[in-house]
C-alpha cells in the first residue's frame, strides 16, 4: 500500500468544524503598552496568581524552541504528557469507529486512554528482544488505524528501539506515529525531533516529569507539524498549563547545567545498581536500559516484591505484562537510597 498522508482525512469531523474558545486577550493586538485588564472577571488585587495564565505559554515555549531547534508553532504544552496524549486521541480518533495500535509491554496510559475515548486498542507484542514487530503492525493496520504509539526508550523494558525499525514504520504506517520520549534525556540515542521536517505524520512527546525532576508540576510537551499542532490547539482547554507550572518550568529549563548534572549522576548510579544486581543470586536477567530505571528478571517477582516492601522499598512489579513474567522494575534513586536498596538485595539474595 502506498503511503497516503493527509491531516484533513485524519482529523475528526467534529474537530474540523469546531470553533475554538477565544478569550478577550486573544482579540486585540498588543502594541506593548501597559493595559488595564477589565475583561475576565479576575480579582484585580495582585498576589502573583490572580490573573489567568498565558494560554499559549509564550515565554516557556520561546526558551524550549531555542533549546530544541524547533519553532513555537511546532509545539503544544499540556498538563503532563498524559493530557497531551489524551488531546491526540480526541483530535484524531472517532469513538467506536477508529483504532490505535500499541506495542506491549509498554506504558499503560495508551490502553487506558483508548478505553476512556472508546477507541479500539490493537496490540502487537514487541519481539523477544523488545523491538517493534514491523510486519505485525502493518498487517493489523487498516484505514481506521489513526495512531501508532512508540515509546522509546520504552517503559517498562528500558531499551530505545532500533532507529531503522522506527524509520520503516514512519515510512509505511498511514496514520500518525506518536513517539513517546519521556526518557529521552537518559538515552544514548538521539531524539526523533530531528525527523519532524521529514515525516509529516510524526508526533514527538516529552515531559518534565522524569529527567527534569518536575513530576509534581505536570508539564508535558508535544512536538509536531504546524498543521497537527493547530488542530490540537483548537481543542485544548485554554488555561491547561497553570501559572505556577509555567514559572517553575521556565526556571528549570533555563538551568540546563543543573538538569545535566543530575542526569549524569543518575546514570552513574544506574550503572552501579546494574553491577550490584548482577551479584544478586535471585536475579536471572538484567535488560539493557536507556532510561532511569532497570528491568530485571528474578526467580519469583511476587515474593521478592513483598520482601522488598517489608524492608520499606517500593519497586514496580511488572509480572502481569506480556514478555515480562517475573520482572521487577527498579527506578534509580539517590545515592543513599540506592545504597540501602543494594544492601537489602544482598541480604535477601
Ligand atoms: C512517566 C511517563 C510519562 C510521563 O507522563 P507525564 O504525564 O508527563 O508525567 C509519559 N510516558 C511514559 C512512557 C512515561 O513512562
Per-residue pLDDT tens digits for 93-110: 999 999 999 999 999 999
What is the CATH number that goes with domain 257-348?
3.90.1150.10
For 1-22, b/e burial (b = at least 16 CB within 10 A) is eeeeeebeebbbeebeeeeeee
Dihedral of CA 291/293/298/303: which sign?
negative
Q: Where in the chain is the domain with CATH 3.90.1150.10?
A: 257-348
| Confidence at residue 20, expressed as pLDDT on a 0 to 100 scale | 82
CA 86 – ligand 1 centroid, Å: 12
Q: Indicate whether 246 pLDDT > 60.
A: yes
Enumerate residues lining ligand 1, CB below 6 A: 80-82, 107, 151, 155, 180, 182, 207, 209-210, 215, 220
Name which residue sits closest to atom 11 of ligand 1, judged by CA: 182
| Confidence at residue 185, expressed as pLDDT on a 0 to 100 scale | 98
Q: Indicate whether 1 pLDDT > 60.
A: no
For 45-80, b/e burial (b = at least 16 CB within 10 A) is eeeeeeebbebbbeebbeebbeebebebebbbbbbb
Alpha carbons 335 and 266: distance in angstroms, whole number: 9
Per-residue pLDDT tens digits for 301-312: 999 999 999 999
- Here the cell at position 270 is 544506574
Q: Where in the chain is the domain with CATH 3.40.640.10?
A: 7-254
Per-residue pLDDT tens digits for 277-335: 999 999 999 999 999 999 999 999 999 999 999 999 999 999 999 999 999 999 999 99
Name which residue sits closest to atom 5 of ligand 1, judged by CA: 81
More confident: 74 or 28 = 74
Q: Which CATH architecture has domain 7-254?
A: 3-Layer(aba) Sandwich (3.40)
CA 180 – ligand 1 centroid, Å: 8
Decide the pairing of beta strands 202-207 and 316-317.
unpaired
CA 108 – ligand 1 centroid, Å: 10
Name the burial class of residue 33, with classes exposed (0-12), middle (13-18) and buried (19+) by CB atoms within 10 angstroms of its CB: exposed
Please identify, by atom number, the ligand 1 atom nearest to the C-alpha of residue 209.
9
| Confidence at residue 5, expressed as pLDDT on a 0 to 100 scale | 76
CA 39 – ligand 1 centroid, Å: 36
Amino acid at each position: 500500500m502506498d503511503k497516503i498522508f493527509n491531516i484533513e482525512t485524519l482529523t475528526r469531523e467534529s474537530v474540523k468544524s469546531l470553533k475554538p474558545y477565544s478569550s478577550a486577550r486573544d482579540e486585540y493586538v498588543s502594541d506593548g503598552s501597559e493595559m488595564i485588564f477589565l475583561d475576565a472577571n479576575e480579582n484585580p488585587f495582585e498576589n502573583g496568581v490572580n490573573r489567568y495564565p498565558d494560554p499559549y505559554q509564550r515565554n516557556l515555549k520561546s526558551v524550549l524552541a531555542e533549546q530544541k531547534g524547533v519553532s513555537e508553532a511546532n509545539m503544544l504544552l499540556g498538563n503532563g504528557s498524559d493530557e497531551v496524549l489524551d488531546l491526540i486521541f480526541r483530535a484524531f480518533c472517532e469513538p467506536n469507529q477508529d483504532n490505535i495500535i500499541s506495542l506491549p509491554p509498554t506504558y499503560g496510559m495508551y490502553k487506558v486512554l483508548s478505553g476512556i475515548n472508546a477507541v479500539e486498542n490493537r496490540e502487537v507484542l514487541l519481539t523477544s528482544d523488545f523491538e517493534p514487530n514491523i510486519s505485525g503492525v502493518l498487517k493489523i493496520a487498516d484505514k481506521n488505524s489513526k495512531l501508532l504509539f512508540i515509546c522509546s526508550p520504552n517503559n517498562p523494558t528500558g531499551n530505545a528501539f532500533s532507529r531503522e525499525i522506527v524509520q520503516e514504520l514512519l515510512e509505511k504506517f498511514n496514520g500518525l506515529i506518536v513517539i513517546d520520549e519521556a526518557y529521552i534525556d537518559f538515552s544514548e540515542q538521539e531524539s526523533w525531533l530531528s525527523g519532524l521536517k521529514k515525516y509529516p505524520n510524526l508526533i514527538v512527546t516529552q515531559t518534565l516529569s522524569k529527567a527534569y525532576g518536575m513530576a509534581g508540576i505536570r508539564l508535558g510537551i508535544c512536538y509536531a507539524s504546524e498543521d497537527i499542532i493547530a488542530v490540537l490547539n483548537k481543542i485544548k482547554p485554554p488555561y491547561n498549563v497553570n501559572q505556577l507550572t509555567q514559572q517553575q518550568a521556565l526556571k528549570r529549563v533555563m538551568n540546563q547545567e543543573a538538569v545535566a548534572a543530575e542526569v549524569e549522576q543518575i546514570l552513574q548510579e544506574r550503572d552501579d545498581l546494574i553491577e550490584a544486581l548482577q551479584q544478586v543470586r535471585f536475579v536471572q536477567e538484567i535488560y539493557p536500559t536507556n532510561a532511569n530505571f532497570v528491568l530485571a528478571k528474578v526467580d519469583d517477582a511476587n515474593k521478592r516484591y513483598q520482601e522488598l516492601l517489608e524492608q520499606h522499598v517500593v519497586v514496580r512489579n511488572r509480572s502481569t505484562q506480556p514478555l515480562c513474567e517475573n520482572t521487577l522494575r527498579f527506578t534509580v534513586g539517590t545515592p543513599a537510597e540506592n545504597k540501602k536498596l543494594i544492601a537489602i538485595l544482598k541480604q535477601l539474595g
